[in-house]
Each structure stands twice: as structure tokens, then as C-alpha cells.
Amino acid sequence: MPELPEVETVRRGLMKIAAGRKINAIDIYYGKTITNDVETFRQALIGQTIKRVDRRGKYLLFRFTNDLTMVSHLRMEGKYYNQPIGGPIDKHTHVVFQFTDGTELCYQDTRKFGRMTLVKTGDEMNVGGLKTIGPEPTDDSFTLPFFTAELRKSHGKIKPFLLNQRHVAGLGNIYVDEVLWMSKINPEQPANTLTDQQIAELRKSIIKELATAIKFKGTTVHSFTNAFGDAGAFQERLNAYGHAGDKCPRCGTKMVKIKVAERGTTFCPHCQALKE
């Protein structure tokens, strides 16, 4: 599933290929992608212009000129691309927005899990996981007092705690493994047992890692590409995720992979020892 750096990379691409374009027609080939009534969705957007594309956590927010917002969640495999109107459409392309400038924005999703929801601008935070989403992983939003208070309330393992979007927005399996390795924290460590120093270091690692991953245009492990069809480059900088059996870059110990909260989890048993 695309995580925050990948979704932000997509958003930046959409600002170049979709923002400022006026919709002339919409073709919908898989109606379940749209959570609204399909014809209502279509008629509400034809003739409207995409003013800009914002992001909150892993959600894309398309802002339209008629004070409507389309909330788009890519889920596992969703992606956007553009082409001239009339270009080839394969069986995995489910929604096509045709623009008056002769181009079209296509939504492709091999797993069919992605969803689009059209709401009045201002109501987007009532859609799906946006209702309970936590702060963005930035210095200003993701404060140390907030993070500390959330951790102190949790008796569960730190990895599922970080995967829960209520605590901090945008982290998924890849980046949780990375920030725990960076912070030398075992993925099964109970969240409320972290020391003040560990909490501060973990917060710092989360902010730094996601910002760096955005800089390198995200991580491509299976199929992620940006709005121009290009893969990310951050996978070349991963230290933990995908490196089970390799030597830890820090101490040389063999990295191991286990399951935590039903998610494959790679860590260094020496650097990230479970603390009593």
C-alpha cells in the first residue's frame, strides 16, 4: 500500500498533470470505485475545474471549483496517469476524467480496492479514516507531548501502535520497520515502556525518515509509480524492510523477519533487543 511519501509524490505529480484542468466528460468502468451514486458523481464534476490536489495522511483531496472535494484513497495498488484523450484503456483502468485541453486523467487499480468519495468541501474529514486521523509527521503537528501521552496510554506493541493512523498519519509497514531500526526499538516492545529518550528519538526518526523518503520520491517495492509512470528511489536506502537475512548495516548481526500484528516485520535482534 502506498504510504505517505508515495501519496505525496503522487500529489505533486497530479498538481502538474491535473490541476487547472476542466473536466469535459467522465467514463466510469468500475462503479464500486465511486462510493457516491455514479451518475450523481459524474454530473457534479462535469464542467468543473480541479483547482488543486491536497493530501492528508494517505488520502488525496481533489479540490473543485464548485466547492466539492473528491477524497481518493489508493489502497493497495491504485495509481493515476495521464495521456491524450482516446489513448489505450486496459481492464485495470476504472475511471477516466477527460479534460478540455485534450488530455485525460486515468485511475488504474489492479486490486480494485481504491475508492473515490465526493463531498462538500469542509466535510472531507468525515470520510472513512479521516474521521480519526492523527497529526501529520512534521515538527509543528507531531509534537513530543502529544506523542508521549499517546504512548503512555497504550499497553500494546509499538509496531501496531505506529501503524494505527490515529497516532500519526502516513506510516505503513515499510516505514515503521525503518524508523524502529533507526531508533533501536524492538517492534514488539510495549509502547508504554519506551523511555523519554526513546520517544524523542523515535519521533525524530519518523519526521526525518518520511521527509527523506518524499525527497527521493517514495519507495517502489512491488508496483508503485508516480503520476508519470516513474518508480521511486528510496528503496535503495532501506536499512530494515526487505533485508531479512542480510547483515545489519549498523552492527553486522543477521537481520530477522517475524510477524507482528499479522505484518511481516524485519529487525536486528542485537540493535533492537526487547527490553524488560
Strands 59-64 and 50-56: antiparallel
Does the active-site annotation cover 263?
Answer: yes
> Which residue of the set 12, 52, 257, 263 is catalytic?
263
> Which residue of the set 21, 55, 56, 58 is catalytic?
58
CA 18 → CA 97, 154, 216, 217, 232, distances in Å? 9, 42, 22, 19, 20
- In this structure, are residues 38 and 30 in contact, taking their beta carbons and an 8 Å threshold? no
Kindly state the cell numbers that stand for 136. Answer: 501529520
Which DSSP symbol is given to 203? H
Does the active-site annotation cover 275?
Answer: no
Binding-site residue positions? 92, 111
Distance (Å, rounded) from C-alpha 53 to C-alpha 33?
19
Binding-site residue positions for DNA? 92, 111
Kindly state the cell numbers that stand for 150. Answer: 499517546
Pick the closest to residue 128 from 136, 110, 116 (CA basis). 116
> Which residue of the set 3, 77, 104, 178 is catalytic?
3
> Which residue of the set 2, 5, 135, 187 is catalytic?
2
Does the active-site annotation cover 84?
Answer: no
Does the active-site annotation cover 5?
Answer: no
Pick the closest to residue 175 from 166, 165, 155, 192 (CA basis). 165
List active site positions.
2-3, 58, 263
